[in-house]
Structure 1
Amino acid sequence: MPAGLVALALGSFGIGLTEFVIAGLLPQVGRSLSVSEAAAGWLISGYALTVAVGAMVVTAATAALPRKPVLVGLVALFVVGNLLSAVAPNYPVMLGGRVVAALCHGSFFGLGSLVARRMVAPERASRAVAVMFAGLTVANVLGVPFGALVGERWGWRATFWAITCIGVVAAVAIAVFVPGWAGAVNRRPPPGSGTVTGRTDGLRGQLRAFRSGQVWLTLAATALGYGGMFGAFSYLAYTFTEVTGFSSTDVAWLLVVYGSGLVIGNVAGGRAADRNRDLTLIVSLAGLGATLAAFGLLAASPVASVVLVFLTGVFGFASVPGMITRVTDHAHGVPLAASANVSASNVGNALGAWLGGLAISTGLGYTAPLYVGAVIVLTGLAVMTVAARRSDRSGPGSVPDLGLAQDPASADRR
């Protein structure tokens, strides 16, 4: 495995920690900064909204720049944001630190996925993306308990100091181990690399990629897949305690079970997508929809709930590597499309959480978000099926080799 992929995974781990760790720290942060629960909640929702918007804006602004230094700069921005959070004397500075850190999130995963797949052979592209996203899935498992443990022992500021240090190490690792040619723009790769150089893409050229119906279908499937999963996930604590009968202290380890499923689904989905991408996406969405529906029916059973929350994680993240490589392939490798995929997932998260909450507020009960999530995911499955059929009709070779892959042998020589 190229060291550059490990460096990108470390960056995604740090960014993932920043996103998830705050959930376990909200009570401490709220008391320390003397703000209400609702205001403290904006440290989560403000981050998510910034990711959705910042992914597109930052990527568009850096489109013409070499991707390796941009990635290093994005991690540096992440470090600054978490440093602000660590030293924040008041709530506005804390919120500002969260916003600054969130600005790097979408662009890092968008650009990082393009750089990651350049470091491996074409047939391993989705697996390379999965390696980078492994950091995010591990952070999902460890984020909340890590934040709670460090925060309880040394205070919530220590958590952000630790994440800041992780960011510094990640920035150095990316600068040292990610090869320059993997993130080069408008420059022919070294002779003998076997890589075809993609075309030059300014902002207008990148926007032109969104004329593709396949790009929009993939983005829609991404938003719906994420939205269904997150709509259910947002209210799992209520489902576990109010329907299944678990205690509130059990929720932490149940979320670790869910996060473990994310890790496994990410790895398995990346491998499967390299063999048959569209089939993998269809199976993962179908599996997620069926799992959420079964979860709603069997939520009263503790054993079934543990198994099904694990499978929710597995199927929920199995589609991620394939969705990213699919949208970038059909968008001719432009970075804005990769970042748009991240934005689409965050829009889906917001939609799913809103619809799940709406279902509860109308009196449908704490299993309602699971059924709502299943409907959303199955809608995404229908979109993905249409996309796959249209892609099949366009014939083989419809997505050209755009220099997104790099012979690992040539990587080893550099």
Structure 2
Amino acid sequence: MKKSLLTLTLGGLGIGITEFVMMGLLPDIAKDLNITIPQAGHLISSYALGVVVGAPLLVAIAGSYPPKKILLALMIMFTAFNALSAFSPDYHMMLAARFLAGLPHGAFFGVGSVVASRIAGKGKEAQAVSLMFAGLTIANVIGVPLGTYIGHHYSWRYTFVIIVIVGLITLLSLKLWMPNLPATKDRDLKKELAFFKLPEAWLIILMIAIGTGGLFSWYSYIAPLLTDVSGFSPDSITYILVLAGLGMLVGNFIGGKLADRFSPAKASVSLLIAMAITLFIVHYISENQILSLVMTFITGAVAFALAAPIQMLMINTAKGSEMIAASVSQASFNIGNALGAFLGGLPLAAGYDYTSPVWVGTVMALTGALFAWMLISRNKKMILAK
């Protein structure tokens, strides 16, 4: 792996821990801050909202600077606001800290995706992007289970201290290893924003925002699902999250190869349908511990196989606006995060059990697949019309 790509992987690792560790820490944070689990779920949504706001805004403001300077500035923000999370004294401060910590997330992946595709070998752009997203999957294999273990046995605040340390290491690696790529010359922000006038742009945004919400309807409430329905002990959740993370790691690299071999749009629609099927199965097998473990791995793999295809789909569609479009895809992904956590919590608030969120996720994944199919159909019509 090129050292320059490793810096992006490290950034993805830190971002992945802070985004996904909340799912395993929900019971601990809820108890410590004296709130309910659905209220603690709002901390997930708050972070996602920060990503949605920060992704296009920060790229629009900083897009004329060299990519290395942008990435350094974003990682400084990430590190500082996660430090604030570690010391938040109450629910409201934590809610604000999570929002602020989410601001640099989408912009980092947006800028990082464009950088990765520029320094990749020809025909391996999606695989280079998947190396950056590998940080997210490594976070789910190592960082999230470790953070969950520390949260269960010591304090969830120590978990955020670890995130800050990863942020500092990433800053050092960016400073030393990231090449000084030139800034975009003669940047025309108005022209870049014209991308959002394209129907294809909104089909992709809807596909990501709704379709990937299926993942978060399941993953946001995975801890109580495994303990209350599957019958696992709270101490075993750490190890099961490792299994989910391994699935995500495998799926991420498969997704990168699929997007390079086939079209990103075809890969996306196929994987969204596969996600809906896996979530449907999860609902019916959750009381069986062995099958629950198998489906935890498979669902994680299918969900994260989407990462590289949807990112490349957005970049390929946005010629001349790649950086802001790539950041918007991350914002859309986190709209899915917020929607999945919120909508998945509604049946819980209504008194249904912890298998009910996966029904919400199944519908969301199928809806995302519908938007992907509409995009493919529209592109075929445009080709035939030429």
Q: SS state of the match for residue 295, structure 1?
A: helix
Residue 163 of structure 2 corresponds to residue 163 of structure 1: yes
1:235 to 221, 234, 237: 221
Residues of 2 paired with 1:239 and 1:201: CA distance? 49
Letter of the 1:372 partner, please give it.
V
Deviation of the 1:360 alpha carbon: 3.7
1:393 positional shift = 3.7
Question: Do the aligned partners of residues 243 and 154 (structure 1) sit closer, same or farther apart at CA in structure 2, a change above 3 Å counting?
Answer: closer
> Per the alignment, in what secondary structure is the counterpart of residue 121 of structure 1?
coil
Alpha-carbon distance between aligned partners in 2 of 1:24 and 1:363, rounded to the nearest angstrom: 21
Whether the 8 Å CA contact 1:83–1:160 is kept in 2: the answer is yes
Counterparts of 1:271 and 1:114 in 2: how far apart (Å)? 18
Contact 1:114–1:333 (Cα < 8 Å) also in 2: no
**Residue 349 of structure 2 is aligned to residue 351 of structure 1:** no
Q: Is the 8 A contact 1:2 1:119 kept in 2?
A: no
SS of 2:212's partner is helix
Residue identity matched to 1:208: A
Greater shift in the superposed pair: 23-32 or 352-361: 23-32
Corresponding residue for residue 183 of structure 2? 184
Matching residue within 203, 207, 218 for 2:204: 218
- Which whole-Å CA distance do the structure 2 matches of 1:286 and 1:339 have between them? 25
Deviations 1:310-347 (A, max 9, x none): 11111111111110111121111522211111111111
The range that moved more, 171-180 or 235-244, is 235-244
Q: Distance in 2 between matches of 1:369 and 1:90?
A: 27
Q: Across the two proteins, how many residue pairs are aligned to each other?
A: 381
Q: What residue in structure 2 maps to residue 251 of structure 1? A: 237
State the Cα distance separating 1:250 from its structure 2 match: 3.0
State which drifts further: 165-174 or 125-134: 165-174
- CA 1:303/1:91 → structure 2, altered by over 3 Å: closer, same or farther? closer
1:193-247 Cα offsets, whole Å, 9 max, x none, are xxxxxxx443312210112222211111111221112112223334333433333
Q: Aligned AA for 2:65?
A: L
Report what 2:18 is aligned to: 18
> Is the 8 Å Cα contact of residues 214 and 327 (structure 1) preserved in structure 2?
no
Counterpart check, 1:319 vs 2:306: yes
Amino acid at match of 1:185: T
Contact 1:27 1:37 in 2 (8 A): no
Alignment equivalent of 1:284, drawn from 258, 271, 274:
271
Residue 373 of structure 2 is aligned to residue 374 of structure 1:
no
Instruction: Give the CA deviation at 1:126.
Output: 0.9
1:4 counterpart residue number:
4
Aligned to 2:34: 36
Shift of 1:357: 2.3
Tell whether the 8 Å contact from 1:286 to 1:381 is kept in structure 2 after alignment. Answer: yes
User: Which of 260, 266, 280 is equivalent to 2:246?
Assistant: 260
**Structure 2: 5+ residue stretches without partners:** none
Following the alignment from structure 1 to structure 2, what is the Cα–Cα distance between the partners of residues 387 and 40?
A: 36
Q: Distance in 2 between matches of 1:241 and 1:355?
A: 21
Q: Is it true that 1:175 corresponds to 2:175 in the alignment?
A: yes
RMSD of equivalent CA atoms: 2.8
Q: Deviations over 1:126-159 (max 9, x none)?
A: 1111100111111123333322444577755544
Identity level (%):
38
Q: Distance in 2 between matches of 1:231 and 1:74?
A: 28
Distance 2:90 2:281 in 1: 45
Change (3 A) 1:164 1:312: same
Conserved in 2, the CA contact under 8 Å of 1:62 and 1:70? yes
Which of the residues 202, 205, 213 maps onto 2:188? 202
Q: Is the 8 A contact 2:138 2:245 kept in 1?
A: yes
Match of 2:147 in 1: 147
Structure 1 residues 319 and 157: CA distance shift in structure 2, 3 A: closer
- Alignment check: 8 A CA contact 1:117 1:125 kept: yes
TM-score (norm 1): 0.83
